[in-house]
Amino acid sequence: MLDHSQRKQAETMLESLENSVMLHVYGSEKEKTEARRLWEFAGEIVACSDRITREMQWMENGRSNMEILGQTGRGIHYSSIPEGGELEPFLKTLQFISGQPLDIDRNRLLPIKQMGIPCRLDVYVMPECPFCPRSVELCNQVAMASDLVQSWIHDAVWSMEEAEKLGVRSTPAVVIDGAVRWVGQMSLDNLLGVLSPSEESWATTLKSQINAGSVEETMAMVLRRPESAAALAAILAEPEVSLRMGVLRVIEEMGDGYPEVTLSLAGPLCRLLKNDNPQIRGDAAYGLGLLGDKNTVKALNDCLSDPDEDVRDTVEEALEMIQEK
């Protein structure tokens, strides 16, 4: 598993461990091959430091995984082998959980602690993904900084069936409470944004998916969680054209076949018809045409006298679209 250079990297980084660390492998009877690979990997890491030990526990059900236990507690699980670029954040996690100071400011996690609700971050990665290591490092650090958070790292191929059910189509993908909440390159602000209880957290999620070019993933999210639909309208009010075009593509794909989404999206789009920016007014009108909700006809009719010619043209087009549907 570890080649010569990786073994040297591990030995160097693990020299500074302050306290002992345990790699506890939970082996599922249904995933014996994966369990043995995790056990073998743990053995190679143990050979790199006399402060690391390992133990095995077999289970009848569940997913084979390796939990990291140390000075700062528990809550870090790997259902994957930290290969390639994933090795360094794994080694950093061993350093942090042995007692070294985290890179993040714990005070920034106060909103999460104030919620008082346990949270599990499931991070789906691929060894060759350039953005996955940073996402893993951030999620692991947040889990170590808050006893309310757990971090589970999954190999997207090993967990392919599970990933498909969740709607994971690209990596890195961060899943929270069964919903894909972030896709692609991630910063601490991004992670805290999707963990926030505020309404803006859904907009943060959907923007990440739109920026990743995943219309299907965005649509799947909105259909799974209709309460996130209003965030599409919020994004449509932003100045970035590519984001607005992405929102319209999502609405077009959904069309008028999902009344629960239409009901939660039509109102916010109607309010955007009064936006100061004529481009946003036009996009909102076009979005209403795509939804095809006849209850929005009055709001659109009121805009036929809009001072901007392009907006008036779009409103007329939207009314025709609704009439056709």
Average pLDDT, integer, range 124-128: 91
Taking each helix axis from N to C end, the angle separating 215-224 and 241-254, rounded to the nearest 10 degrees, works out to 60
Taking each helix axis from N to C end, the angle separating 259-272 and 278-291, rounded to the nearest 10 degrees, works out to 160
**Strand segments (E) across the chain:** 21-28, 52-59, 65-70, 73-79, 119-125, 149-155, 173-176, 179-183
Task: Express each pLDDT in 38-59 by its tens digit.
Answer: 999 999 999 999 999 999 999 9
Query: Is the pLDDT at 33 greater than 90, yes or no?
Result: yes
- The rounded distance, in Å, linking the Cα atoms of 210 and 124 is 18
Task: Express each pLDDT in 68-108 by its tens digit.
Answer: 998 666 789 999 999 889 999 999 999 999 988 888 877 77
Banded model confidence at residue 203, pLDDT cuts 50, 70, 90 = confident
Q: Residue 279: what pLDDT?
A: 95
Q: Residue 270: what pLDDT?
A: 95
Q: Residue 153: what pLDDT?
A: 97
Average pLDDT, integer, range 224-238: 85
- The rounded distance, in Å, linking the Cα atoms of 17 and 50 is 10
